[in-house]
Structure formats: structure tokens, C-alpha cells
Amino acid sequence: MAGGRCGPLLTTLLVASVVALAATEGPDQAVLPAEQSRVQPMTASNWTLVMEGEWMLKFYAPWCPSCQQTDSEWETFAKNGETLQISVGKVDVIQEPGLSGRFFVTTLPAFFHAKDGIFRRYRGPGIFEDLQNYILEKKWQSVEPLTGWKSPASLTMSGMAGLFSISGKIWHLHNYFTVTLGIPAWCSYVFFVIATLLFGLLMGLILVIISECFYVPLPRNLSEHSEQNQKSEEAHRAEQLQDAEEEKDDSNEEENKDSLVDDEEEKEDLGDEDEAEEEEEEDNLPGGMDEEKSEVSDQGPLREGSMTQEEVEPDEAEEDVTEQPHSPDTEVAEDALRQRKSQNASKGP
């Protein structure tokens, strides 16, 4: 009987002690369920969800202080997403380098607005009030959209996403070599250099094999015919060059002939002018001679009178009279005529 009574007492004591211990711990030690985040993480597999409906995306990095300052504002904005009728997402650029390349993210944090597949860059402070006004007042309509090759859905940005994803994998592999395995950094760089060279050689070999598979050699007849065509074209070009040179020579000869004819005509014109001048001078000479003779005849009686008055001998007077008609002016004129006649005679033949 005593043992049956002690069992219930022990159980009640144990329950009471447990309750007392829970009471002493206080409300601060109580474990509360974590509140679920309304921000949807975006990856390379589900990013196409933003192509439908209205979205706001945030690109961040865990080590970025500016990104950490806007985390609470972004969570508050996501909680009000239902009232604003908008979905809110975030992208970790460390885990998803391909998406950062697709959107060409160069600064952090980076915000994007998407409306039915049309993307625009939000450049505000990232606080809740500004984000709410951006959606309610539709300020995104005044922002130029990312169209053409800049659109994240374009083929160009898809290639950019592939390059960024490859660079991210290389970076993770480098960290694995240097941090996890403890390999020196220069060894990792040498490994990547050798791997790049081998990859380039392999791709070149693949391209050569593909070209050999799809290359169809031409038959000999066609090759010979093509060679003959090339030779005939070269000969035709050489003939054209020779014809052009001959035409140039002919044109030069014609120009020289024309210049010679012009020179001869000029010489003939000069000869005609000289002859006209000589005729004029010959016409003028008899008049000059007559004048000189009249002067001499006038001076004769004067000289005779003077000789009688001065009692000069007759012989000297006769010598003066006979020497007077041959004056030096007439001799100079006759010499000039003779020289011009000799010049015309030499030019004539």
C-alpha cells in the first residue's frame, strides 16, 4: 500500500519541479518561431518568373555594407507587396554571377523594375517610402526601358550571363585551391594558364576536324578551269594596262606636235612683223636721203661764199663738198638694213 501511494507522489513532484524550472527561466528564454520572409530568392533556374507581372528585384552581396543597410527597408516593402500588387525578389551576385551578368550589374546594391518582360533601372535610395511612391505613382513610366541588346532576355545578355557564370566558377575553383587545399596562389594561376592553353588547342583541333568533315574538294577539271580563268583575267588586265600606257604616249606625242606647230606659227608671225618693219624703214630711208641732199645743196653756196670771203683754196672746198653726202647716219641705217636682210635670209629656209 505504501509503495502504491509513493508512485503518484513522485510523478507530481517531478511535474512540479519541471514547471518551476520553466517559470524561473522567464519569457526571454522562450523560443519564438522565425517570421517567414516575403522576399523571393531568384536564381538562374527561376528568373524567368519576372517576365510575367510586375516585379522589383534587388541585386546584393553578403559582404556589401550598403546592401545590408537596405535589407530592412526591402523586407518592409516585400510585406506590403500584396497591397501594392507587386512581387519582390532578390539576387545574391556571389551565388548567381550569371544573373548579374545578364542584368549587367556593375554597382551594389542594384534595383530593377520589371513589367511584363520590360525592364527598367531604379536609381532611388531604396527606402520603403520611395519604393512605394515609385510603384503607386508609376514613376517607372518616365524611365527609359532596357530594350534591344540591353534587355536581359536578349541573346547578347544571355552570352554575357554565360561568361559571368564561367568566371564565377573559376573564382570558386581558385578559392577551393587556395583556401581549402592551401595551395599557393601562384600555383593556382599557373594551373589556369596551362588549362587555358590546352583548352584553346583543343578547340582549334575540333574546328579543324569540323572543317575537314564539311569541306568538299573541287574536281580537277574545275580547278584547272578556274586557273585558266585567272590567267586569262591577268592577261586581260595586262593588256588593259598596256593600252592605257600607249594612249598616254599618243596623247603626249600629240601635245608635243601641237606645241611645235604653235612655235612655228609664232616664228612665222614674228618674221612677218620683221618684214613689215623693214619695208617701213626702207620707205622712210629715201625721204631721209632727199632731205640730207637738199641740206647739202643748201649748204654748198654758203660754203663757197665763205671760202671766197676767207680766201680758202678751191681744192679744200671741193673735198668738203664731195665728203658731205656720205654722213654717218646714212651708213648706220644701211648697216642695220643689211643685218636684218641677213637674219631673214637665215630664218627663211
Domain that holds residue 203: 158-215
What pLDDT is stored for residue 255 in this prediction? 77
Q: Within a domain: residue 32?
A: no
pLDDT of 106 strictly over 70: yes
Q: Check if 6 is active-site.
A: no
Asked if residue 196 and residue 124 are part of one domain, the reply reads: no
Query: How far, CA to CA in Å, does 55 sit from each of 51, 114, 140, 250, 311?
Result: 9, 5, 12, 81, 151
Percent of the chain at pLDDT exceeding 90: 31
Extended strands (E) in the chain? 40-41, 54-60, 87-92, 110-115, 118-122
By the 8 A CB rule, do 110 and 104 touch?
no
Q: Last residue of a domain, which of 193, 215, 237?
A: 215
Could you identify the residue written with the cell 530593377? Answer: 112
Residue 266, C-alpha cell as written in the block: 609664232
Q: Within a domain: residue 320?
A: no
What pLDDT is stored for residue 324 in this prediction? 47
Asked if residue 49 and residue 133 are part of one domain, the reply reads: yes
Cα dihedral 87, 90, 91, 94, rounded to 10, equals -170
pLDDT of 281 strictly over 60: yes
| Cα angle: 293, vertex 299, 303; to 5 degrees | 140
Q: Check if 187 is active-site.
A: no
Asked if residue 137 and residue 96 are part of one domain, the reply reads: yes
3-class state of residue 114 by DSSP: strand
By the 8 A CB rule, do 140 and 113 touch?
yes
pLDDT of 183 strictly over 70: yes
Residue 120, C-alpha cell as written in the block: 527598367
- Residue 167's pLDDT band (boundaries 50, 70, 90)? confident
As a whole number, mean pLDDT of residues 233-241 equals 86
Asked if residue 126 and residue 54 are part of one domain, the reply reads: yes
What is the per-residue pLDDT across 299-317, written as a single tens digit (0 to 9) for each?
A: 544 444 444 444 444 444 4
3-class state of residue 59 by DSSP: strand
What is the per-residue pLDDT across 196-232, written as a single tens digit (0 to 9) for each?
A: 999 899 999 999 998 888 876 656 665 666 777 788 8
Q: Which is it for the CA torsion 227, 228, 232, 238, positive or negative?
A: positive
Catalytic residue among 6, 67, 187, 213: 67
Strand partners, 112: 57, 121
What is the per-residue pLDDT across 27-72, written as a single tens digit (0 to 9) for each?
A: 443 343 446 778 999 998 899 999 999 999 999 999 999 999 999 9
Asked if residue 169 and residue 128 are part of one domain, the reply reads: no
What pLDDT is stored for residue 304 in this prediction? 45
Q: What are phi and psi of 80, to 5 degrees?
A: -90, 15
Q: Last residue of a domain, which of 148, 174, 206?
A: 148
Asked if residue 162 and residue 137 are part of one domain, the reply reads: no
- Residue 134's pLDDT band (boundaries 50, 70, 90)? very high
Q: Within a domain: residue 59?
A: yes
Strand partners, 194: none
pTM of the full predicted structure? 0.49
3-class state of residue 196 by DSSP: helix
3-class state of residue 116 by DSSP: coil
3-class state of residue 38 by DSSP: coil
What is the per-residue pLDDT across 89-102, written as a single tens digit (0 to 9) for each?
A: 999 999 999 999 99
- Residue 291's pLDDT band (boundaries 50, 70, 90)? low
In one-letter notation, the amino acid at residue 298 is D
Q: Within a domain: residue 193?
A: yes
Q: Within a domain: residue 292?
A: no
Distance between CA 330 and CA 183 in Å, rounded? 125
Asked if residue 165 and residue 203 are part of one domain, the reply reads: yes
3-class state of residue 112 by DSSP: strand
Could you identify the residue written with the cell 631721209? Answer: 288
Distance between CA 187 and CA 194 in Å, rounded? 11
Distance between CA 117 and CA 53 in Å, rounded? 8
By the 8 A CB rule, do 59 and 105 touch?
yes
Percent of the chain at pLDDT exceeding 70: 66
Residue 85, C-alpha cell as written in the block: 500588387
What pLDDT is stored for residue 264 in this prediction? 73
Provide the number of structural domains found in the chain. Answer: 2
What pLDDT is stored for residue 345 in this prediction? 61
Q: Which is it for the CA torsion 58, 59, 65, 66, positive or negative?
A: negative
pLDDT of 290 strictly over 60: no
User: Strands across the sheet with 118-122, in order?
Assistant: 40-41, 87-92, 54-60, 110-115, 118-122
Q: Within a domain: residue 310?
A: no
